[in-house]
A and B are shown apart, each in its own frame.
Chain A
Amino acid sequence: MTLLLAIILLPLVGAVVVAGLRANDRLATAVAFGFSLVTLALVVPLWLGYDPDGARLQQTSSIDWIPPFDIHISFGMDGIALLMIAVIGVLVPMIIGLVGFTDKLPEGRSAGGYLSLILVQQSLTIAVFAATDVFLFYVLFEVMLIPMYFLIGGYGGKSRQYAAVKFFLYSFLGGLIMLAAAIGAYVQAADELGEGTFDWQTLAEVIPQAPLATQIWLFLGFFLAFAVKAPLVPFHTWLPDAAGEAPIGVAVLLVGVLDKVGTFGFLRYSIPLFPDASRELAPLVLGLAVAGVLYGSILAAGQQDMKRFIAYVSIAHFGFIALGIFAFTAQAQVGAVTYMLNHSLATGMLIIVIGMVIARGGATTISAYGGMAKLTPVLAGMFLLAGLSTLSLPGTNSFISEFLVLLGSFETQPVFTTVATIGMVLAAVYVLWLYQRVMQGPVRGDALLGASGGPGAVGAPETGAKKTVRDVSLKELGVLAPLVVLIIGLGFYPKPALDVVTPVVEETVSIVSITEGSNE
């Protein structure tokens, strides 16, 4: 059994154990936390054992699953997958740490059920990144929706049912279209080799030989699934609902990790399997990406709801990532891949901080807050740091990624890149404006001020603020501290992340440029 396999299976074991502890919330949380920490600890040797200059897929394992269709359960990872697995490993303990104060579960719901779903989600998401059989990838891609569906629908806000179903149906339809394309690739391989296969490595050798028209159809099938997942405009409409209704921890998981499956899919499946089609259709993808940057930024600035705000910010950032991927220069793609990591950290922290704000005020609308920095200075500082990382200030982790994306893309796609730069300016606008409205100025807003005439609710007579509005507790600080370290650390020393992904990215970019050369 490879280390990778152990990391996939461990959370699953944890989920079973935690599901048995539904009677005792405290114990369930402790056990789930323990499992997530051990998983994180296992990621360390995984990272250290990874050889960036070795084979593209490492830690490989494979067993037969459905021999009549030559389907295997095979796992392996490249640098990009490793990065995403590491992010999941870091984020899940925090999400579990949020249970109880930032994420209050609905009445009558046990922590055991919630945490067990989180751990199942963790296992499936790691498996999706690690799958090296296209069929297995599809299966996990769809099965992954089920725990998320129950997490949103069972533990979310007011219109959680609507959000859960919408989320499920969008992704399910996208996945089904991808299935058609995957079967198409299988049939294509059967034509070429005499025997169909779903093995990623074999397909990556066979499918690029296919005629352009075939490649384009197959590319579009995969693209639709990934564009729904990553969300690119106009396939994004489920995300504001899902992220807006989900509990904070689930929103972190959804925006921080699950959506990355889409951009990961571009890198692992779309480009290596269909290089000619990728090049042919790159302007289309870039158009959607840049539209997403502008659209997401403008709508983020106009949002009244803080959780929906994050969703639109993410849509803008996914636009940047897609721009970097489809610019086809090594620099831009390295930027895009590290952006996947940094977006998880920055947006993850922003969601958590906003969750802490909401947990104090009880409202999600921005206008219900104001001048909160006076009451909770440390929380305001955290909010500002997360915000600055989101707008890619130099010195924070996101800067280097966004910089590389724009620099690298400008070489090949000057027009799209120039337009996308507007997004950087807009990012400063929406982040700082949000910070100003929530944190600065005199203390105001229904969420912070106690009900009129209800002295019992007022904790601080001099400001009139509610009792619940207190600065961050030690436990909350414990959740935030690792993120602060990572955000600032990777801001000044991004080399570890860059080293892991650069060889893989160079290989991916070379696939596109080699075929370009051969066609000329």
Chain B
Amino acid sequence: MPQQFLAQGEQLPVPAIDFTAVLPILIVLGAASIGVLLEAFLPKHQRWSSQIALSLAGIVGAGIALAAYIGDAPEQGITTFTAEGATSGALAVDTPALFLWGTLLALGLASVLMIGDRSLEPGGAFISQAGLQGGLQTREQANATGMQTEIFPLTLFALGGMMTFVAANDLLTMFIALEVLSLPLYLMCGLARRRRLLSQEAAVKYFLLGAFASAFFLYGVALLYGYAGSVKLPEIAEAMAGTDVSDTLLYTGIGLVVVGLLFKGSVGPFHTWTPDVYQGAPTPVTGFMAACTKVAAFGGMLRVLTVAFEPASWEWEVPLWLIAVISMAIGAILGLTQRDLKRMIAYSSIAHAGFLVVGAMTLTEDGLSATLFYLLAYGFTTIAIFGIISLVRDANGEATDLSSWAGLAKRSPLVAGVFTFLLLALAGIPLTSGFIGKFAVFSAALADGNAALVVIALVASAIAAFFYLRVVVLMYFSEPAAKGPAVTVPGAFTTAAITLGTVATLVLGVVPAFALNWASAGGFVP
């Protein structure tokens, strides 16, 4: 009965909102909404320029708002969207959330730059009409120079969803944020101008499996609500202290929620969508997904494991331990057999997800800051990697088959050099950010008494190093193929994105102290 909640003449109770704290999210989502309006009202030829200006302005504006907030932020972080009488709000704005927002905005900026580039492919990497089917009869349409500019508001919505996701302090907010970030991504995967069938297959596969994962997550939320009588993360932790409700609800709930998160983070054995989607999606979107979705998924996982499930850690530690090992093994070993560069990076991301699980299950302060740093480092490297992949092209678009990269160093020493550096970062060679990330995570895990897992992770790193090296070998020591692909000279946008990613990889590898300090400035709000 509605009257029960809303008596006659009474107003809907408005939760207390700290607007300055959530301003970055509001700016991103606001820009996304304006983007939809632009799409509806602007003539076609003006859309691209105004959309890209709006997106960049939105992200930069959100970054400025974030910096201003951090400038005079309370020490321990706050929760906001607090309902009347509640002890904590629906969004937590604490150090990890702020760090992750900064990470997401920086990575989002690079992604939008790559998505907006029109110099590599006439008209951009996206088709002119989203409904185009694969097949020969549509090649002309595919080659038409228009571009689907809906991609910009979709990106911003996904980004806003991710930012909400990592700050969500209750499971329902988290679920909604999960959908806000996922739905645009499903669509964006299907927009590739070239190889339409592959792209559409990727979108469908991602959507179907993603929907399952969301359902798991939601079911888990329901069970946890049944157990704790609340969806708030701190209250679930409190409920574990003293309740006579069956533990089955709790464990099943934790299991289902975590599975939903592991799926988003492409952790093996919930990774099956990753290679296909990474390969099929347009490369700028793959870069966005690979970097930002991973940050969001693991940001959420860190919060859930620490704030809500910490009291039950002895129950989920062993399964997560196994999952980390499985993920590292799948990523490292199957990565060896790949012939396609994008699939190879996909398996590499599965291995990295395993390393991240090692960090996420280490519930110490060091574990938290190490995982946050790892996400930052990995995101930048990945974006730059996909930026470079989008440069090497032949008549059919990007040449992602490994064989066509043979001898690249002879023709384009700069591109090959940067790509080698990024691969070494993924492999975790010292003086790159990838190494410092691995070092921080492993030392936190070792200090937490997880020596066996660390050794397994190191062996997995060494195996994975082999397939990165194989690409280096191909580029430097092999003779170029006669009809090999050409390296396209990138436009300003892609150049900027690659430069940002590469410089960040180098700086975080050589002088990582400042970022490590940011990451360890504080923990989650209770």
Contact = CB atoms under 8 A, between A and B. Distances in A.
Interface of A: 64-69, 138-140, 142-143, 146, 149-150, 153-154, 160-161, 164-165, 168-169, 172-173, 176-177, 179-180, 183-184, 186-187, 190, 217
A173 B447 contact: no
Query: Which 7 A-B residue pairs are closest in the complex by CB-CB distance?
Result: A139-B430, A173-B462, A176-B458, A183-B443, A68-B516, A187-B447, A153-B477
Q: Could you say which of A143, A183, A190, A217 has the most chain B C-beta atoms within 10 Å of its C-beta?
A: A183
B512 interface: yes
B455 interface: yes
Contact of B442 (A142, A153, A172, A179): A179
A150 B469 CA distance: 11
A153 B476 contact: yes
Contacts of A179: 439, 442, 458
Interface secondary structure of B, over-half rule: helix
Nearest to A176: B458
Given A67-B513, A165-B473, A172-B462, A187 B446 contact: yes
Contact of A143 (B430, B462, B473, B476): B430
B257 interface: no
Query: How big is the B interface, by class?
Result: 20 to 34
A186 B440 CA distance: 12
A153 B520 contact: no
Contacts of A64: 513
A187 B449 CA distance: 10
B477 A69 contact: no
Contact of B469 (A65, A165, A217): A165
Contact of A184 (B446, B462, B513, B520): B446
Interface in B421-473: 424, 429-431, 435-436, 439-440, 442-443, 446-447, 451, 454-455, 458-459, 461-462, 465-466, 469-470, 473
A154 B513 CA distance: 35
Q: Could you say which of B476, B477, B511, B512 has the most chain A C-beta atoms within 10 Å of its C-beta?
A: B477
Contacts of B447: 187, 190
A65 B512 CA distance: 9
B473 to A, nearest CB: 5
B183 to A, nearest CB: 39
Contacts, number: 86
B76 interface: no
A190 B439 CA distance: 16
6 contacts: A139-B430, A146-B429, A176-B459, A176-B462, A179-B458, A187-B443
B517 interface: yes
A153 B469 CA distance: 11
A2 to B, nearest CB: 22
B465 A180 contact: no
Contacts of B513: 64-68
Contacts of B424: 146
A186 B469 contact: no
Contacts of A186: 443
A168 B431 contact: no
B513 to A, nearest CB: 5
A183 B435 CA distance: 13
A68 B436 CA distance: 12
A184 B520 CA distance: 21
A163 to B, nearest CB: 11
A180 B473 contact: no
Contacts of B478: 161
Given A142-B429, A183-B439, A164 B477 contact: yes
B472 to A, nearest CB: 8
B459 A173 contact: yes
A440 B258 CA distance: 75
B451 A184 contact: yes
Given A65-B513, A68-B520, 8 more contacts: A68-B517, A149-B469, A153-B477, A154-B476, A169-B462, A176-B462, A183-B446, A186-B443
A150 B476 CA distance: 8
Contacts of A168: 465, 469
A66 B516 contact: yes
Nearest to B462: A173
B466 A176 contact: no
A195 to B, nearest CB: 12
A165 B430 contact: no
B512 A66 contact: yes
A141 B451 CA distance: 22
Interface in B498-521: 511-513, 516-517, 520
A160 B477 contact: yes
A67 B511 CA distance: 10
Q: Could you say which of A149, A168, A169, A177 has the most chain B C-beta atoms within 10 Å of its C-beta?
A: A168
